[in-house]
């Protein structure tokens, strides 16, 4: 029994009986040799884990519950009104330009798994260890999914499967770069739904004020005032934008007064800036930047938030935690986001 459990048990006992209760906190550790003497009498502070960088895309995007082995997405496309004369009382069926249609794509659910063996003696000794293991495992899963959502190519295998390859999520970087956004091919194959994202290519050897203004110009105005519209970029990119204050007058004004709260690149042109280390730099002075209305741009479908099961008989003296998380992510509305790429 841990120290915390002994204290809670003593409190419960005195509330029930009204008698004074002495709680013995001096029992030797269950871990042999853990203290100065054999057997030890070590006090354990609450366990903790270093904070991981979770998935900022999940925090900003549309998240829905799902079930089954795959998720299908359906988009209404095209126009219903007469493209040459939409006014008046005359109806001309299917006369839009383009005509009304639907685009569909279907993605299989992907699973992240973990196996965590822990000595039973440690779990009985260390306070808050169980909760710490579960909390850190959830953040580890979020860290893994966050990298796959940006970097992974689900169309090809890889010598390293750290981001999933053909078993991983469809990363933002693998969507087609184009001058204008468009839906990908329609169908249920894994090759369908690879949309085109409007992309501005960095003009010079280093990111500039003009790159940011030209990129913003590409962003459709219907998304400007919606909640959830934000920039997302690597912390090094934020650093480079802060350093633009050493340039000319327009650049200096942007760096010094471009933020709503007077901070350093907390906001740009009214949109919040979110640091995401998965949106990588592409070399000296070359950066990728996304500007999107994230709730419309990306959808994450969680089949199960997280499943954890403890098995006590896998090895003598150990309890093994098995965990899995199943999900799908996709660019749902390719018109709701744009990007800048360095070459």
In a domain, 151, yes or no: yes
Assess whether pLDDT exceeds 60 at residue 2.
yes
For residues 281-309, give the mean pLDDT.
84
For residues 18-29, give the mean pLDDT.
66
33-42, 43-52, 80-89, 176-185: range with lowest mean pLDDT: 33-42
What is the model's pLDDT at position 180? 93
In a domain, 86, yes or no: no
C-alpha distances (whole Å) from 151 to each of 111, 146, 170, 240, 296 are 17, 9, 8, 22, 20
Q: Where residue 132 sits, what CATH number does that domain have? A: 3.90.1690
Q: Are 257 and 213 in contact (CB under 8 A)?
A: no
Spatial distance between the Cα atoms of 261 and 267, rounded to a whole number of angstroms: 8
The reply to whether 253 and 117 lie within a common domain is yes
Assess whether pLDDT exceeds 80 at residue 44.
no
Q: Does residue 256 or residue 186 have the better pLDDT?
A: 186
Assess whether pLDDT exceeds 50 at residue 29.
yes
Domain count within the chain: 2
3-state secondary structure of 42: coil
For residues 292-306, give the mean pLDDT.
91
The reply to whether 235 and 128 lie within a common domain is yes
DSSP β-bridge partners for residue 318: 119, 315
Spatial distance between the Cα atoms of 92 and 56, rounded to a whole number of angstroms: 46
pLDDT in tens, 260-270: 445 556 788 88
The reply to whether 226 and 330 lie within a common domain is yes
The reply to whether 5 and 114 lie within a common domain is no
In a domain, 244, yes or no: yes
The reply to whether 273 and 160 lie within a common domain is yes
The reply to whether 177 and 313 lie within a common domain is yes
Residue 87: other Cβ atoms inside 10 A:
7
In a domain, 248, yes or no: yes
Spatial distance between the Cα atoms of 211 and 197, rounded to a whole number of angstroms: 17
The reply to whether 24 and 158 lie within a common domain is no
Helices (H) and strands (E) in the chain, counts: 8, 15
The reply to whether 192 and 325 lie within a common domain is yes
Spatial distance between the Cα atoms of 3 and 47, rounded to a whole number of angstroms: 13
Mean pLDDT across the chain, nearest whole number? 82
In a domain, 88, yes or no: no
Full residue range of the structural domain in which residue 37 is found: 1-43
Structure token pair of residue 158: 């890889």
What is the model's pLDDT at position 89? 85
Residues contacting 239, CB < 8 A, separation 6+:
none
In a domain, 53, yes or no: no
Q: Does residue 73 or residue 33 have the better pLDDT?
A: 73
The reply to whether 39 and 111 lie within a common domain is no
pLDDT in tens, 203-232: 777 788 888 888 888 899 999 999 999 999
110-114, 185-189, 231-235, 285-289: range with lowest mean pLDDT: 285-289
What global pTM score does this model have?
A: 0.81
In a domain, 111, yes or no: yes
The reply to whether 194 and 318 lie within a common domain is yes
The reply to whether 133 and 209 lie within a common domain is yes
DSSP 281-336: EEETTEE-EEEEEHHHHEEEEEEEEEEEEEEEEEETTEEEEEEEEEEEEEES-GGG
pLDDT in tens, 74-125: 999 988 888 788 888 887 777 777 888 899 999 999 999 988 888 777 777 7
In a domain, 167, yes or no: yes
Please give the span between the terminal C-alpha atoms of the chain, in angstroms, as a whole number. Answer: 59
Q: Are 260 and 267 in contact (CB under 8 A)?
A: yes
The reply to whether 131 and 229 lie within a common domain is yes
């Amino acid at each position: 029994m841990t120290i915390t459990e002994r204290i809670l048990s003593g409190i419960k006992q005195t509330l029930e009986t009204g008698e004074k209760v002495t709680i013995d906190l001096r029992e030797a550790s269950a871990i042999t040799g853990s203290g100065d003497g054999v057997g030890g009498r070590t006090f354990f502070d609450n366990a903790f884990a270093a904070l991981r960088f979770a998935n900022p895309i999940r925090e900003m995007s549309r998240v829905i519950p799902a079930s089954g082995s795959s998720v299908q997405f359906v988009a209404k496309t095209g126009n219903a009104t007469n493209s040459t004369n939409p006014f008046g009382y005359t109806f001309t069926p299917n006369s839009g330009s383009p005509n009304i249609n639907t685009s569909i794509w279907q993605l299989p659910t992907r699973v992240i798994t973990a196996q965590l063996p822990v000595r039973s003696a440690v779990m009985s000794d260390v306070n808050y260890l169980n909760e710490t293991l579960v909390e850190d495992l959830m953040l580890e899963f979020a860290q893994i999914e966050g990298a796959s959502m940006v970097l992974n190519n689900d169309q090809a295998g890889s010598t390293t499967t750290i981001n999933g390859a053909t078993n991983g999520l469809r990363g933002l970087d693998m969507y087609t770069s184009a001058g204008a956004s468009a839906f990908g091919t329609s169908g249920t194959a894994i090759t369908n739904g690879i949309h085109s994202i409007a992309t501005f290519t960095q003009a010079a050897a280093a990111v500039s004020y003009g790159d940011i203004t030209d990129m913003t110009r590409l962003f459709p105005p219907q998304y400007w005032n919606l909640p959830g519209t934000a920039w997302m970029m690597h912390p090094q990119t934020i650093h480079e934008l802060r350093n633009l204050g050493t340039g000319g007058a327009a650049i200096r004004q942007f760096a010094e007064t471009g933020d709503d709260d007077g901070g350093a690149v907390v906001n740009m042109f009214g949109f919040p800036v979110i640091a995401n280390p998965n949106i990588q730099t592409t070399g000296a002075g070359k950066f990728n930047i996304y500007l999107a209305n994230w709730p419309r741009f990306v959808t994450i479908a969680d089949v199960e938030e997280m499943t954890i099961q403890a098995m006590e008989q896998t090895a003598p003296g150990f309890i093994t935690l098995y965990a899995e998380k199943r999900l799908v992510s996709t660019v749902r509305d390719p018109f709701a986001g744009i990007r800048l790429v360095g070459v």
